[in-house]
Chains A and B, each alone.
Chain A
Amino acid sequence: MVDTTKNTQIYSTYGRKMAKPVNPNVAGKMLSKAKRPLLVVGSEIVDNEQIIEKIVAMAKKGIPVAATGHSITALVNKDIGAKYINIHSLGTFLGDKNWTGLDGQGPYDTVVFLGHKKYYLDQVLSGIKNFTDLKALAIERHYMQNATLSFGNLKPEVHVEALAELVENL
């Protein structure tokens, strides 16, 4: 089992409510139990085949995918129905009970983030933390203190291994 709960050094921002470090198996089980999860994928995945592979695997296990930035370019031919949306808009709509989601099926209860610029996602998560009731799970390579649950700071190879374990637990 990969331990993703160490090294939770933060970047430069601070809040009193910080993300709980989480291991991939727990994250996977939590996602499996979510009623309406959404995987939000950022542009840092482009050109990273190993991460793209994990995203496709998660999508094939039934998690809808929102593609922010230009991450959609890596997902258009993967047959997973990923939908483009700007992440700042998404962060806003997620907190609106009148939003019916990317597929019109209703609001989400758990959002998972992967492949984002750390400093950018940190801000989006801050909005979600402070103004919504959503569970936010960061499975990024870096500890995202504004998520509900987050991996710690990981080396790239450990990160891929952790994602593989998460997929196994879905």
Chain B
Amino acid sequence: MSDIEAGKFSIDELENVQITIGKIVGAIEKKAEEEGIEVGPTPKPGISGLRDWDYKLLSRYQPVYTPVCDQCCYCTFGKCDLTGNKEGACGINMEAHQARETLLRVITGTAAHSAHGRHILHHLIDKYGRDKPIDVGPSNLIAPNTQAVTGIRPETLGDLEEVMDYVEEQVNQLLATIHAGQEGAAIDFESKILHGGMLDHVGMEVSDLAQMSCLGMPKAETDTPLVEIGMGCIDPQKPVLVVIGHNVSGVTYIMDYIHDHDLDDKIELAGLCCTALDMTRYQAEKGGQPHAKIIGTLAKELKMIRSGVPDVIVVDEQCVRADVLDEAKKLSIPVITTNEKIMYGLPNRSNDSAAEIIEDLSTFKDPGALILNFDTLGEVAPELAIKMSKIRDDMGITALPSDEELQELSEKCVQCGACELDCPVNLPIMAAMKDGVDKDFRKFEELHDLCIGCGRCDQACPKDIPVLNMIEKASQKLISEEKGIVRAGRGQISDPEIREEGVNLVLGTTPGIIAMVGCSNYPNGTKDLYKVADEMLKRNYIVVMSGCSAMDLGMYKNEDGETLYEKYPAKFLAGNLINVGSCVSNSHITGTAIKVAAIFAQRNVTGNYEEIADYITNRIGAVGVAWGAYSQKAVAIGSGCNRLGIPVIVGPHGSKYRRALIGKPYDEAAWKVYDARDGSEMPIPSAPEFLLTTAESIEELFPMLAKNCIRPSDNSMGRMIKLTHYMELSQKYLGHMPEDWYRFVRTETDLPLAKREELLKILEAEHGWEVDWKRKKIISGPAMKADVSAQPTNVKRLCKGEC
């Protein structure tokens, strides 16, 4: 490495000459050395940098492909029929093509998050400067994903630029591998998928670190404000300004304008998707009051627009429907786009005055405008909403059909079933139509919560019946009562919290972390999220929420009228319910696992991803649930968890990601680890049984959650607690004792105390284990021994005596 320092210098004798030295090869290592920090073997790993680790994971959790389409349509050699794992004209076979397809989805999601990160970082550096310190609350390890992956310990916004450079370079390299049929091995596409997922968590982390540091968002706070959610919490009598998307940059200008001009009580500012979540975090630090309401998730976008309630819609990026402008136009709602990723073909008014834009939109000269100047946006959006509210009232716009029209539309239905076949959830729409003829609209109302609001039924109907509008009209009472509570996102889990809870987590006395993330295409309605979180919280699991799932969880109340956010505290402790924040805050969930390894176990994090992942894989009982996994971002988040050894369960729609990573419990050779004390092989039980799989129903999900929190390093008390939950949940929701429970028993103290004798008898009678009944001890039978001081690892080089 050169001794030249990065930075600027001038040569005195040469006037007007300034030389800038950018990044120096080896700079990360040198800086770390100066600071006395050990750097692991893989700072800024390239595509192949962690391939060995991936191969270890993939040898146990083998890729399973379920193609959505049997053909490859990538190039002009084809279309190629790959059915039956045939090869196409370029030589790629079905397996590799499916892995490639998944990789494309993963890097799309990664790009969505990291491009958001780059955008907001640029914006905030422009506003606050490169030297603005990163502030995440009481943490020394302020960027766990970033530090583990890149080796960089960012301290300022400027430091994050180099992190983004790395992520973008790697995403570009990964994207290049999609081209033609060049990569012949599915398993190497798989490694690239995991690489893409890992990058996603770095990109997300940069996004959230930047916005938390600059926008007054809560920083590892446990008592963040409780905020309103639901279509019913919007007051339609006021001018209603609705924002949609995932990047709060521009929206903060709107919020500032509203606040500075004393319009807080005169306008309804509400949001859909993660911008809404981040609006409630904006300036909410240390008890500050949020200024916005949350309408809900992507599933509510079309429903909200079609309600006719919004007077102006502002969109930014990511989970925003492509038809927002078309739908809004029908109801005379102007649309403002604020981000180059979504421009809807609208004229660029960024350089025009606010007055001119307001005049043109309020007179319908244009249906909307692209405004990239946030100062202008801040003024236009609220002022236009105030103006449009009166104009639209005067126009007498009615959005949904009347009761009479509802009946007439029902009569129009010929029961062809096209809507049901096209509905992603196969909802029983025909039966609702049948009853609707007799003015009984209850079945439409029942569809409201089950409907994911995609609008495909409307497109499918040969009679042009607006099915979605009928569902919404019939559900008006229900919608007016949709008033929930969400706890504003808290950001990271702090170092002191990790120190307090880490030991319980590692030893298993806290039975596990259930991270409920993902989107809104649930198989059986929104309430299932509530049921899952409620059950697991009662059982003392730590439940962590983010994004759309965090929103939907707040929609339901218990018999005391409380949401779970009101019922459960939000510390990082057993039986607590945490909302980390928006989609990009998912990085704090993986960040927490990394922190446990760093803080509790004193593992070196810097550029040491494999060792950290290995630690998490074998010791931290965490399971991700994306019950409504919909987007490319969700599969990217899941893949990032997977590379750290965290298993993820998606709902049945997640099968359309076309690929899973499932272990084979009966393949004994796959379920072994090394004991780092001496390098000897240790058999382990098959948990987690998968890295990525699907569940059919929440009843099936419950025991899967408990079982897959089991880790090789559990002590007897931890194993007993985890096993107890696995057995109880299986009996409660599947009506039977799980058949494989005995595989997780190493010693009699692993058995649930209340059932110990009964279970010992079963072990003896049905599985041939020897039991000393005087001492109630197992003499022989278990495939593995209980040894609390064993140090399970998948990485041979980490074993004593190995290099």
Contacts and interface: CB of A to CB of B under 8 A. Distances in A.
A98 interface: yes
A119 B652 contact: yes
B697 A43 contact: yes
A83 B667 CA distance: 19
Contacts of A126: 66-68, 70, 658
Interface in A54-84: 68-70, 72-73, 76, 83-84
Given A92-B664, A119-B653, A153-B421, A86 B700 contact: yes
Nearest to A141: B426
A130 to B, nearest CB: 6
Q: Which of B62, B81, B83, B422 counts the most A-chain CB atoms under 10 A from its CB?
A: B83
Interface residues of B, number: 48
Given A12-B422, A130-B85, A88 B70 contact: no
B664 A99 contact: yes
A91 interface: yes
Contacts of B666: 93, 98-100
Interface string A95-107: 0101110000000
A123 B68 contact: yes
B696 interface: yes
B69 A88 contact: no
A17 B693 CA distance: 26
B736 A76 contact: yes
B394 to A, nearest CB: 43
A91 B693 contact: no
B69 A15 contact: yes
A52 to B, nearest CB: 14
A31 interface: no
Nearest to B736: A76
B662 A89 contact: yes
Given A9-B421, A84-B736, A127-B66, A117 B700 contact: no
Nearest to A70: B699
A64 B653 CA distance: 27
Q: Which of A43, A88, A126 counts the most B-chain CB atoms under 10 A from its CB?
A: A88
Given A119-B656, A130-B85, A84 B739 contact: yes
Nearest to B653: A119
A11 B83 contact: no
Interface in A5-48: 9, 11-17, 42-43
A35 to B, nearest CB: 21
Interface of A: 9, 11-17, 42-43, 68-70, 72-73, 76, 83-84, 86-89, 91-93, 96, 98-100, 116-120, 123-124, 126-127, 129-131, 142, 153
Q: Which of A69, A98, A99, A142 counts the most B-chain CB atoms under 10 A from its CB?
A: A69
Nearest to A124: B66
B337 interface: no
A70 B496 CA distance: 41
B696 A117 contact: yes
Contacts of A14: 69-71
B433 to A, nearest CB: 14
Contacts of B655: 88, 119-120, 123-124
B22 interface: no
Contact of B422 (A11, A15, A43): A11
A126 B657 CA distance: 12
A143 to B, nearest CB: 9
B699 A15 contact: no
A84 B84 CA distance: 28
B64 interface: yes
Contacts of A11: 421-422
B660 interface: yes
Contact of A123 (B66, B81, B667): B66
Given A43-B696, A89-B662, A73 B735 contact: yes
Nearest to A74: B735
A87 B733 CA distance: 17
Q: Which of A76, A99, A116, A119 counts the most B-chain CB atoms under 10 A from its CB?
A: A119
A153 B655 CA distance: 22
Contacts of A116: 696
B65 interface: yes
A92 B689 CA distance: 13
B742 to A, nearest CB: 16
20 contacts: A14-B70, A15-B71, A16-B70, A69-B695, A70-B700, A72-B735, A73-B734, A86-B694, A87-B694, A89-B689, A89-B690, A93-B666, A99-B666, A117-B696, A120-B653, A123-B68, A123-B658, A127-B64, A130-B65, A130-B67
Interface string B407-425: 0000000000100011010
A68 B656 CA distance: 18
B696 A70 contact: yes
Contacts of B68: 13, 123, 126
Interface in B27-74: 62, 64-71
A88 B421 CA distance: 23
A12 B68 CA distance: 9
B704 interface: yes
Contacts of B69: 13-15
Interface string B644-684: 00000000110110101010101100000000000000000
B664 A130 contact: no
A88 B653 CA distance: 12
Contacts of B739: 83-84
Nearest to A89: B662
Given A72-B734, A99-B666, A127-B65, 10 more contacts: A43-B697, A69-B697, A70-B734, A84-B739, A119-B424, A120-B655, A126-B658, A127-B66, A130-B65, A131-B94
B65 A69 contact: no
Contact of A119 (B65, B426, B734): B426
Q: Which 8 A-B pairs have the closest CB atoms?
A: A69-B696, A15-B70, A70-B699, A123-B655, A120-B652, A127-B66, A123-B66, A73-B735
B660 A93 contact: no
A70 B658 CA distance: 23
A43 B693 CA distance: 17
Contact of A131 (B65, B664, B696, B697): B65
A86 B658 CA distance: 16
A142 B734 CA distance: 26
Contacts of A88: 64, 655, 660, 662, 693-694
A18 B219 CA distance: 54
Nearest to B693: A88
A86 B740 CA distance: 13
Nearest to B426: A118
Nearest to B70: A15
A96 B95 CA distance: 15
B708 to A, nearest CB: 11
Given A119-B653, A120-B696, A91 B70 contact: no
Contacts of B752: none
Nearest to A87: B696
Contacts of A17: 70, 83-84
Interface string B76-90: 000001111100000
Contacts of A117: 426, 523, 652, 696
B699 A69 contact: yes
A92 B64 CA distance: 7
Nearest to B660: A88
B524 to A, nearest CB: 9
Nearest to A42: B696
A91 B696 contact: no
Nearest to A75: B735
Q: Which of B81, B422, B664, B689 counts the most A-chain CB atoms under 10 A from its CB?
A: B664
Nearest to A83: B739
A26 to B, nearest CB: 23
Nearest to B690: A89
A131 B71 CA distance: 14
Nearest to A13: B68
Nearest to B98: A130
Contact of A69 (B656, B700, B735): B700
A51 to B, nearest CB: 16
Contacts of B658: 123, 126
A12 B733 CA distance: 32
